[in-house]
Amino acid sequence: MERRLPRRLARWSDLLIVTGVLVVCGFLIAWSGVYNVAASRGHWPIVERLLAFSMRNSVEARANFVGSPPRFSPDLVRLGAAHFHGGCAYCHGAPGQPSGQVAQHMLPPPPDMAVVASHWNERELFWIVKHGIKYTGMPAWVSQTRDDEVWAVVAFLRQISALDPQIYRELAVGDLEIAVPSGRDLATREAATEAVSACGRCHGAEAHGPKSRLVPVLHGQTSEFLMISLGDYAAGRRESGIMQPIAAALNLAEMRKVASYYAALDPPRAAARDPADADAVERGRLLASQGEAHAQIPPCMACHGGTGLDAYPRLVGQSAPYIAGQLRLLRAAVSRRSPAGGIMIPIARRLSDRQIDDVAAFFASFAVREGGEETGQ
């Protein structure tokens, strides 16, 4: 007589029981506080490997959907360097400048970009800078609509490993002289000079203009316009991952001071300029001074020429890449919640790519001579 052996194949009920036990165990571990979340202790090596593996794969997978990078011009690198110095170097360090003591005690400690930047390709760096990384302290870019700014940081990161401290400083801070505060100031003030030095790093100060042509000249703009811009950035109506946090850190009195400081400056002497295409400048001059009625494009100079409202920016003498970049952002309806964006977006949308480049070339063709007099090229 044959004995039947009990056949125990896995059944659904068994699977449910095992899953239930695992969930309960997991909950007990979380509930009991056994797991140590201390940043002072680090991860187990196996956990650390698993986390690094997940992060790398997540970034690599998602970076596939990032568009192709723009050309990394020296202007883009300088803008990226200046922002890196103010926004990133405290945690990541920079050539010749170790990361901050507090940042070194984060978990994971923010890596030295001169070492790790080469571990990622351009689109992966872009994805990380734009979106940040969960659980690491790496924040997302403040404005998710300013890919142009994110690319500036990536352009700089491509070069960071090759920079010695002196070249880095020249790139990030330039010829800006930062006055050493007095002992009394250091002892009694909160760090109020930090913000102003932040302006000058990109926009220049005193007789020096911006060191990247992607950055606007603030010298001689009206203080009304500068106040409106700072207010719009601080409130998030005007979008910029670089300018929003800087403006939001200023109080109204500081905004007034910095606005009237730049308003009182003479236009900086023109740096060496690219030889502009004379035809483009002439086409731009016609469009800027007469508009194009059948395309419903009003003349730029009616508002931006110097007789316009104090709330309007003066565009004469701005660099071509800055104006073209701003017009393309407006055409893409970035900063649509700002009153100025509300006016310019419908107009920018009527401009063709060539018209944008033409008017940019025209405004940039004004050079400033030693005496401070503006002249056409």
Partner 1 sequence: MSRMPALALLAPAAWLAACSGEQSALAPRGSDAAWIADLAWLLFGGGGVVLAMVIAALVLSIRGPPAIRARLARPATMVAAGLFFPIVVLSSLLAYSLWLTGLTLPVADTGHVLRIEVTGEQWWWRVDYVRPDGSRVASANELHIPVGQRIDIVLRSADVIHSFWVPRLGGKVDMIPGRTTRLQLHAEEAGVYRGQCAEYCGGAHALMAIEVVAVPATAFEAWLARQAEPAVVPASERGRRGQDLFIAAGCGACHAVRDTSAAVIGPDLTHFGSRRSIGGAMLPMSEQNAARFIADGQYVKPGNRMPPFRIFSDDELAALSAFLVALR
| Residue pair 359/304 in contact by the 8 Å Cβ criterion | no
Q: Which is nearer to partner 1, 196 or 302 (CB)?
A: 302
Question: In whole angstroms, how close is the CB of 346 to partner 1 at the nearest point?
Answer: 5
Question: In whole angstroms, how close is the CB of 157 to partner 1 at the nearest point?
Answer: 38
Q: Contact positions toward partner 1, by CB under 8 A?
A: 228, 291, 293-294, 296-299, 302-303, 307-309, 311-312, 339-340, 342-347
User: Alpha-carbon distance 360 to 340, whole Å?
Assistant: 19
User: Alpha-carbon distance 203 to 261, whole Å?
Assistant: 12
CB neighbour list of residue 189: distance below 8 Å, 6 or more residues apart: 181
| Residue pair 316/374 in contact by the 8 Å Cβ criterion | yes
The CA-atom distances, in angstroms, between 205 and each of 91, 253, 311, 323, 372 are 27, 19, 22, 20, 15
Q: Which is nearer to partner 1, 69 or 305 (CB)?
A: 305
Q: Which is nearer to partner 1, 168 or 225 (CB)?
A: 225
Q: Which is nearer to partner 1, 103 or 347 (CB)?
A: 347
Question: In whole angstroms, how close is the CB of 318 to partner 1 at the nearest point?
Answer: 18
Q: Which is nearer to partner 1, 87 or 341 (CB)?
A: 341
Question: In whole angstroms, how close is the CB of 227 to partner 1 at the nearest point?
Answer: 12
Question: In whole angstroms, how close is the CB of 168 to partner 1 at the nearest point?
Answer: 41
Question: In whole angstroms, how close is the CB of 335 to partner 1 at the nearest point?
Answer: 13
User: Alpha-carbon distance 362 to 276, whole Å?
Assistant: 9
Question: In whole angstroms, how close is the CB of 355 to partner 1 at the nearest point?
Answer: 15
Question: In whole angstroms, how close is the CB of 312 to partner 1 at the nearest point?
Answer: 8
82 φ, ψ (degrees, to nearest 5): -65, -40
Q: Which is nearer to partner 1, 176 or 301 (CB)?
A: 301
Question: In whole angstroms, how close is the CB of 255 to partner 1 at the nearest point?
Answer: 18
Q: Which is nearer to partner 1, 215 or 345 (CB)?
A: 345
State CA 264 to chain mean position distance.
27
State CA 15 to chain mean position distance.
51
Structure tokens at 239: 């979008």
Q: Which is nearer to partner 1, 74 or 346 (CB)?
A: 346
Q: Which is nearer to partner 1, 262 or 312 (CB)?
A: 312
User: Alpha-carbon distance 79 to 101, whole Å?
Assistant: 26
Alpha helices in 33-121 (DSSP H): 45-63, 74-87, 89-92, 113-116
Which of 237, 246, 210 shows the shortest CA–CA distance to 323? Answer: 210
User: Alpha-carbon distance 303 to 289, whole Å?
Assistant: 10
- Side-chain half-sphere of 202: how many Cα atoms within 13 Å? 26
User: Alpha-carbon distance 285 to 318, whole Å?
Assistant: 14
User: Alpha-carbon distance 160 to 80, whole Å?
Assistant: 10
User: Alpha-carbon distance 306 to 298, whole Å?
Assistant: 16
